[in-house]
Structure 1
Amino acid sequence: MLLELHQWTRATPYAIGDPTPWYASSLSGTGPAQVAAAVADRDSVRTVASRVWAGVRSAAALAILVALGCAGLSVGVGAVVARSQHDAAEQQLARRTSLVVEAVSGETRRYVDTLRTVAAAAGAFTTLTASKFAQATQPLEQMRLAGATSIVFLVPVTDAELTSVQALWRSRGVPGLTLLPSGAARQHIFSVLNNPLDAMTTPRSGVDITQAPAPTQALAEARRTGQVTISTPYQLIIDQGLPPERRQPSFSLTAPVHGPPDAQGDRPFLGWVLMGVRGRDFVGATLDRESQNLLDVTLRAQNAAGVDVLVATQRASMSGPRDLANNVDVRVADRSWQLRVQASAGGLPGGTTNLPRLVEGVGIVVGLLLAGLVWVLATGRARARGLVARATRDLTAAETAARRQANLLATILDSISDGVVVADADGAYLLRNPAARVIVGVGTELGNTQRPAAHFGAYRLDGQEAFSNAELPLVRARAGESTEQIEMVLRNPAHPDGIVVTVSARPMPTDDGRTGAVAVFHDITDRKAAEIALCAARDDLAGQKAYLTQILDAIDVAVLACDTTGTIVQSNRIARQNLMSGDGPSTIADAVARAGIRGSDGALIAVEDIPLMRALAGEQVDGAELTLPLPGGVRRILLVDARPLHDACGHIIGAVASSYEVTAQREREADLQAFAGVVAHDLNAPLAAIAGFVDILTEDLTDGVDPVSLAATLSRVASAVQRMRRLIEDLLSYATARDRRLNREPVDLDALVAEVITERTAHLRVAPGARRDQFPHIVAAPLPIVDVDKAMTRQLLDNLIGNAIKYTPAGEPARINVSAEPDGEGWTRVQIADRGIGIPINDQPHVFTSFHRAAAHTNYTGTGLGLAICHRVVNRHGGTITATDNPGGGTRIQFTLPTTS
């Protein structure tokens, strides 16, 4: 209305500026009152028109002010958004740069660790041969070491050693080896063993590495430091025959090889292992998965002259200016490489977009809308139509912005590596990003939704059992169920060997109130393969450990290993029986204290004197003698050897000790010493007596003494000879009872005891003047058949029955009872009881030791070996023997023997 009024006033200026024609023509024939009214009306109209025009000008000024203010605010907000996007792009580049650095560092660490492992494996062999080197390096062929050409074993050789070294390695499995020295240098480094790691490298042995300064310098540094060393970039010797376009900057990793430690603990230097790596292949394979074709990556390193040399470069295929860049240093073994990463801010997900301009445009539009609103409010309906038109344009701009946002979302989905699939309530697929097409491997059209499990080739992890349609995550999500990380195998024409994926799905409400679904697919094939390989390696390691454990448990030498804290980490069967309590991990100090192990002098051993603890301090212990007390006062004597354990750097990481029992050896030594004492005393005395009597006989015969009167002297000589014979027989019986082979057979104890009694009493029956009341009274109850060595058992019974007859008070006949009773399944307990002089209670535990005689028995002839022989016979049969008082007087000997089944 204001616009119409403004137009009207401008169209009729004369009605206000020149009143005469107006009222003259309009009011002719009227009186003064009418004329005055007409003039008043004219003034009123002029005033209203002036106010309207002023209002129009004010509205226009206000509208312009609002529009300018909104435009300025929009530009400011747009600048803030642009700065924020640029910062976000820089942060995105920084994150991706860190991923690239981590990828390069992690990959080089993998190469370094691999080479270190090969060097340790090569050095562990006592004699390194071509087959052993191939065995040590064979796992590298499955490790997919990108860019790796070959792995070689190098040895230093002087001119004087060429012929001998060549002959040595020919004998170790390289028959065609020919060492080809390069240059006039007298010190050479030759490759003697060579295993290729790619399909294009031909093994070459006998090459003199000193013709290439870069690897020669790396080899010298590796030997000096003992660590894995990387060379400066250079042209691999094996690549010098390639066409120029196929050559690329390369480098080599090398590690020293030291052999097993010698007697002094020093590890001799054997040579080096060297791996050649082509830089572009190495970096390209490493960075493809990290850069995602969004980054330009350049890797440089300084060569031997200190000049930056290009190792590898990779350029993304996206267009646009590279307005973002990061320069970082990457640590590779003992060197530092320079990594430059460039990107276009507009090409990075979440980078710069048209959003700032959109914000500015929207702000200006809003400003114009507000200005229009002011103008409309001021100018009325005429502007309403213009407002509608502008609102229509604004809606179009908003739609365009929405499309841009949709395109941005699509770009983000296209850039991620996980597959995303969106389906509506009917199962039709509304959206699938490129990663989904690659991972799923087949089309996701609506016509395939009737049997989706069969169409996609979805199987369980065994690869045999197929998923049903109702079990698929997308189908379950359309039914309202959320699923998380469902693992399955997809095998279809695109993936004939099958891939392993995880699928997470969520319900998605639609505008019509029904439920669609969105699913995310993640390819975990490599991770599963790594897990399987890890499990296989773990199983292999466990198998090797079990195999080693069986070997250690099979030997009769105790083996213990501990870490640097003294905690026992490995023990075999003998060691566990002697030291371990079964209560979990234990320290060697606790185990020694619990077992009560003592030194050779019988004193408790200090912690620092334990052989394993001495080995942890770096000492090599040989033949340390310890004693292990057992119940019943018995002790075992152990000889212990201990050595420190070192890692590849020579640091002590633990210690190992082995021990074996020498109790029997010490007993034999004691027997030998006792035997020497017997020979020196008991045999010497009868010999001295014989010699003296012979001298007397000689003198008497010389003096003409009657030979008949010499009978008493001869009787004494015969008695001395008999004593010597009895002592020698006992010594032989005692010695053979220990080591003589058992010839087991069923033996009737009744018959054997009767035979021994007959022989023991035969001389009494024929002795002149023998009295029947002095004849031994021996009663033998029925005895079983036993499974024993007959000769040794006869000696056992002969000694025991003979002692029972001999150790009888003077003037009294011997009274002996022999009986037997079962002693558990397969054993019988035999008892020989007499009424003789008995054994003092303090001597009873010791009468079975060698050369021990009770004080009460010294008046009776004997060697002190009879009961020791009995003890050995019973012990050889696995039985026991004891001596106790016989109720009513005398001694009761009990022993056990195995019976026949």
Structure 2
Amino acid sequence: MTSPTDEQSGMHRRAGGERTRGTLLAATVAVLGVALSVLLAEGLRDVERHGVDRAMDRQSTLARTAVAAEIRRYTDTARQLAASLGALETLDESRFAAVVPDATLAGAAGLSVVVPATTAQVSAVQRAWRADLTAVPDAPKHYFAVLDRRWGGTTPQVGLDLAAAPEAVAALEAARVSGDLVVTDAHVLLPDRNLPAARRQTSVALVAPIYRSTTATRRFVGWVHLALHGRDFLETTLRDASQGLAGISLTATGTGGRTARLGTVALRDDDGSAVVRTARLAVGRQAWQLRLRSGSSAATLFGIDVHLDEIALVTGVAVSILLALLVYGLAGGRARARAQVAAVTAELRHTERSARQQAALLHAVLHGVEDGIAVADADGSLVMLNPSAQATLAVPATAGPDERQQHYGLYRVDGVTPYPAEQLPLRRALEGTACTDEFVIRNAARPDGVRVRVSAQPLDLGPDRRGALAVARDVTALRACEADLAAFAGLAAQDLQAPLATLVGYLDLAEDDLAEIRTLGRQPRGVTTALGHLARVRTGADRMRRLIDDLLTYAAARDATLQLGDVDLNALVSDVFPAVLRPERTNPPHVVVRPLPTVRADGALLRRLLTHLLGNAVTYTPPDEAPRIAVRARPVPGEDNWVRIEIADHGIGIPSGQHARIFRGSPGAGLGLAICHRIVERHGGTIGAVDNPGGGTLVWFTLPMSTGARSADAEAPDLVGVRS
């Protein structure tokens, strides 16, 4: 029988053996991994070197081909020009210009026709070519450029004596003797010798003799002298091939083996580990050498990653170490792994239970609330509808975002005007705007229709996913109750009119009697006091009469049949303004009325609406200030047949947070703005108020335009207007 001590000892021995085996196995994995990584890195380094060598060979061949092709263009051009000029019976400046090509050769400095002359012949040559010649003093023979064409915007060098350039003289004479094209030794062109040292370039010229042939003779005329700048030639020809990642130099070996560098394209990063390629070209009787040199960026130029071997080595070593540590951890921590797996499993189960509980709670809430809830994804498709929302719609939710108005039967609160699809609360919430609105749902399943109030706001559905949430409440019964209250208020107002009229009548009689007593001189002390009391009673009665009138108007604005017609807003505003100006004001108002369209509305109700709004603009301006009022029309975005009317003032303004409440009516404020809200709502429009940017209040409302009416002007007018 094994004792507990022996069992513990055995467990320790097994644990020690497992740790030892784990350590040996981990060390073996690390050594093998590092060795394989080193071998892989060496193999990749060889592949990179071979790739760079092959790419440089291709690049060298391309560069040599490009330079050779461009030099061939030069030699062909020079020979063709010499032949063309020799074929002319008369050579002058106009014929020279007609023969010389307009296209610029790579690096070309200029093209000249050069003629020889002794010192005694200078005057004759000058007369013959009509050129101002500048001879080099003490020169045994002169070589004048009598016709010249410069590229790059420089001035032609007519009259220049090439005797000052020994390299040019040697090439000219060699070309005349050989009768063929000759390339000069590298030198600085005469026109360039006056330039700053940084701008001077080593150049060469291609010289071709010009002969005029007749039936019996072949007479020498002069030379074609085609000059090129070495650096410009090299950079223009090999710009695309270099890209700054390969250094390129071009040298020319001339007479007597003298070598000169024509041009260089600098190497961007020379780290001393360059790969060099040399290519030779025969140009005339000279030997040119093209030398390419790549730096550490050559691999980038050729599409080769030079650090791949280093990356492979570092990655291999790192992976080997990680594998060794993993083997060691697995070998020595099997129990810990089991415990961690058990803990993670328990946590996952707990999380799953919590998620199920949350889902069940959310399901119960969504199915238990009376409000309809809808969720849409980024493209407007409905991803969730709770039972209340489905019951409110009463038809299957199968319509797309642009088909919902017709499918569900969505109308404005007048029950007639289709609700625009682009203004639906869900659509506006998807665009990032939280909104609340009411509309009517009437379809085959709901022929009588229901009125719902919908609030929508943007919703975050996850990473890079946006959506929208809408909550809808059936307010049909609520609006019916409001209608009943409005009807009751209208009846009460009508019933109060008769006793109020009686009260006012007796007030008139009492005031007349007391005034007669005071007129006859029989005025007791209490008569004046009684007249004051009666004046206060009349003020209260007048206020009560206005309130009753407002109640009747409020009820009529909801229940009365609209008498729709075309209403000219310009004429209506002009008619209403004099009626709202208060005679006690001594400051004349500043009024701006921009051109207004003709709308489709009830004329009487629209007059009441403008009377209230313009009257408020005058009333709520401080007594010591002149009222400043602007009336303008602006288009409604997305609604071609609707117009937005704005009335702006510079009055006392509305307290912050009260802009939406003023249209619901409040104690002491009267029912004027509530009547305005009901009138606009009856016409299918909306009304609101905001702070005027220049101070005061801007009240706006929307109305349908008449058929064929001119669209509103989108430009907003200033408040400072003409004095009326």
**TM-score grouping bracket, smaller chain normalisation:** 0.3 to 0.5
Q: TM-score, normalised by structure 1?
A: 0.35
Bigger relative contact order, structure 1 or 2, given CA contacts below 8 A and separation 6+?
2
Q: TM-score, normalised by structure 2?
A: 0.43
Please identify the structure whose Cα radius of gyration is greater: 1
